[in-house]
Chain A
């Protein structure tokens, strides 16, 4: 075992959170949080720089016995599927700190500490190679997220926080029983790689598939267990929404990729039509709901449901293009929707209204803001040249290959996306100026620009030259497909 880079990536924000508890000054808390997140971002770039794209094997692995009596180890590792999300988490955490710079006025130190704790736990989820460890990180996230929504959220924050907590908890507890069952089927080990190599009877796979499905579907969220999401998003502070949409929702999909597909391949194949149907439902239903929203944040939240439908569809198309598109789309959705929530937050800070009806002609009032908003709106509707185009195109081609009807539904969903996003942009940015009853607001300042620019860069980079990103995931995805389809290989 070499230098414990992964542990360092996880524990840097954890240590930052611990330090923050002893700080009294709000400004010191903000700067500390920023320094810690930037440092962690730098570490994650070091990780990507040293990442070997030619192999599907786990890299930078660490392994220390934790509870030997139960076969629990502290095992970390990164492969092509998790590498991008480590970076995404670090990036969006930095953006979140910047987004809460002035938006959070009360209990700043506690907020920043929660945010950093959240970051540490999210990174832990993506880097765990031990199911028990994974579960600890996965479940522990509920604590800081519950506080972020419940303490710093909007008016209905308490209800939203409860709903978020209980939905996720109920889902994950069944997952826990599934994990323990898997532990005994796999010869009393929680080692993810060893469990992946198992060949379980179909009956067992099916039960486990549903136990896992409940936990992951709640997190994604898939229709019909999505109802916590609009509440949580609308009530959460901006940083909370960015983290929720950008990273938390990815965890459900990551769970499918890391556990359901490789550990339960026969069940995944068998139930893939069901999963495709649910995905198509989410795409269309989420789109229709978004079309009907007047609240900016709700609109973006429902669009998330629709977009995550594309992700699960790509995953359960179970072919190379679908899977690569799904994973890339996870990354893209994190960047784009994270940015959209940031933009909603920025305008809300200035006007204290999120109702689309209150806005109009923002183009004339805040031109810089509006230009970037256009970029992210177009990215969200997958315009060619932006990141989501690449992802959605891959997903659609994978989806059509898997099932024509599902692919067609997805195209319909994409059209709906254009409708509600362009409609939103038209009402907010064009027409006669009216900004929450006022006519003048401050445009984007330098700090906000720092948060926006990297996201904008990734929108264009992935959109115009996706090769490096696909290269990272390629080896792992190919390997995953051979695991799912058996030795005869994918396609």
Chain B
């Protein structure tokens, strides 16, 4: 690699460098902080992400391949990185008070690990080689393993982390095995070269096997059936802020990779979509039906996130320009509404009150009409009722599906989302139509308020004025 090429590569990956450098500095500075200065950690972390965001936006105007074909900074990556920044910053805002309540916030590790996870996700969005995808993926999941078990004295948290590590390691192994098969058969790990090999006719059964393994590895990360088993336990056991983060950031990162790998025009022409369509239907069905019987709010949101992953995979099935854009828009909108509802769950955690059981919210609307209204907005958005953004996200996926002639899949998708609507409006029912059994003391700090207000604004705003966001997603989907 020449010096000029190296310089170009460094420029292309500037946001990543900012995040990882910032995280390292924070790790050292964190040791010097005295008690009572923890808020500086939050401010510093947010500042790092904002600088990275600024760098991303400044570099976003052109396509920059880097590191000899391992990495690319294009509009597609920029879009996903913005979603990651959003998820990370909102997680930081939600974390401050919650971390105090749970007793996990005094060290800088929590914030540093989140930044490293962000770094991993950013690599995933930009990776154009199976190996760089692997590096990003591992970096991200290693951080989330640790964060899941961050409540050291809590049994559930430890159990969740252990489950997550074991299953995650297995799925990574499967993924790597697929990568090694690809390398053995084609002599390359680059996506473009691999795509050409996959569609080479007649289809090599070995390559098909390799693709299936890689699909399995990736599908694990977005929590799609049949690799979803870890998700409810991990979501329930992890600190709620980390659950919120995982349900949005890593999931979007998983979709970024899936889109890169499988919507390469050459792969899209092969018949891989049939497998993906089956995964989409089964995932959505399982998520929607199992969520019906959940009593724990976090578990319910875990299954809801499985169902949403299923819906987004329908967008992958549709493929093409609109299909890609629909998944991207879905991820953006999902980030707003899901972080919003998690923000509400996090806010309820105060003192000895866990706020994790759905019935804990009984009659919440009576004493806190404003907060209840926000929850109503998030829940109806998750259910996909207009005029919220959640409706537009689903609508656009359906448009992409019907455009490609998959009308039956669209019908299945809407019927399953009618099932899913039930458990969201059941929560609305508990909030609005039950009598309160206790006095609510939500842990409302200005940061939590800001998060809730911002996510609600996004959820309603994108719903009412989707044109700009749609344009952004469509432009980003076209790459260049």
Q: Residues of A at under 8 Å CB distance from B? A: 21, 65-70, 107, 110, 132, 135-136, 139-140, 142-143, 146-147, 150-151, 157-158, 161-162, 165-166, 169-170, 173-174, 176-177, 180-181, 183-184
Contact = CB atoms under 8 A, between A and B. Distances in A.
Contacts of A162: 422, 425-426, 429
Contacts of B398: 176-177, 180
A139 B417 contact: no
A69 B432 CA distance: 38
Contact of B395 (A68, A166, A174, A176): A176
Contact of A177 (B380, B407, B429, B467): B407
Given A169-B418, A174-B411, A177-B402, 17 more contacts: A66-B467, A70-B396, A136-B386, A136-B391, A139-B385, A151-B432, A151-B433, A158-B429, A161-B433, A169-B385, A173-B414, A173-B415, A173-B417, A174-B414, A177-B407, A177-B411, A181-B407
B462 to A, nearest CB: 11
B402 A140 contact: no
A21 to B, nearest CB: 8
B470 A67 contact: yes
Contacts of B369: 107, 110
Query: Which 4 A-B pairs rank lowest in CB-CB distance, beginning with the nearest?
Result: A173-B414, A136-B386, A170-B418, A67-B467
12 contacts: A69-B474, A139-B385, A158-B429, A158-B433, A165-B421, A165-B425, A166-B418, A169-B418, A170-B418, A177-B402, A180-B395, A183-B399
Contact of B429 (A66, A140, A150, A176): A150
Contacts of B407: 177, 181
Interface in B381-415: 385-387, 391, 395-396, 398-399, 402-403, 407, 410-411, 414-415
A291 to B, nearest CB: 33
Contacts of B124: none
Q: Give the most central of B407, B415, B433: most A CB within 10 Å.
A: B433
Nearest to B411: A177
B471 interface: yes
B60 interface: no
Contacts, number: 86
Nearest to B408: A177
A264 B387 CA distance: 27
A177 B410 contact: yes
A166 B421 contact: yes
B219 to A, nearest CB: 26
Contacts of B366: 107
A146 B379 CA distance: 13
A143 B380 contact: yes
Given A69-B474, A166-B418, A170-B415, A150 B385 contact: no
A104 to B, nearest CB: 15
Contacts of A110: 369
A180 B410 contact: yes
Nearest to B386: A136
Nearest to A110: B369
B466 interface: yes
Contacts of A68: 467
Contacts of A176: 395, 398, 414
Q: Give the most central of B399, B414, B471: most A CB within 10 Å.
A: B414
A110 B411 CA distance: 35
Contacts of B466: 67
Contacts of B433: 150-151, 157-158, 161
B315 to A, nearest CB: 14
Given A136-B391, A174-B414, A177-B402, A69 B421 contact: no
Contacts of A161: 429, 433
B422 A140 contact: no
A135 B402 contact: no
Q: Give the most central of A68, A136, A161: most B CB within 10 Å.
A: A136
Contact of B387 (A140, A165, A181): A140
Interface string B209-252: 00000000000000000000000000000000000000000000
B381 to A, nearest CB: 11
Contacts of A181: 402, 407
Given A146-B428, A169-B418, A180-B399, A70 B470 contact: yes
A69 B429 contact: no
Interface string B298-341: 00000000000000000000000000000000000000000000
Interface in B74-97: none
Contacts of B391: 136, 139
Interface in B353-368: 366
Interface string B438-480: 0000000000000000000000000000110011001000000
Contacts of A174: 411, 414-415
Nearest to B421: A169
A376 to B, nearest CB: 32
B209 to A, nearest CB: 35
A40 B395 CA distance: 32
A143 B385 contact: yes
Given A173-B417, A180-B410, A139 B429 contact: no
A142 B292 CA distance: 20
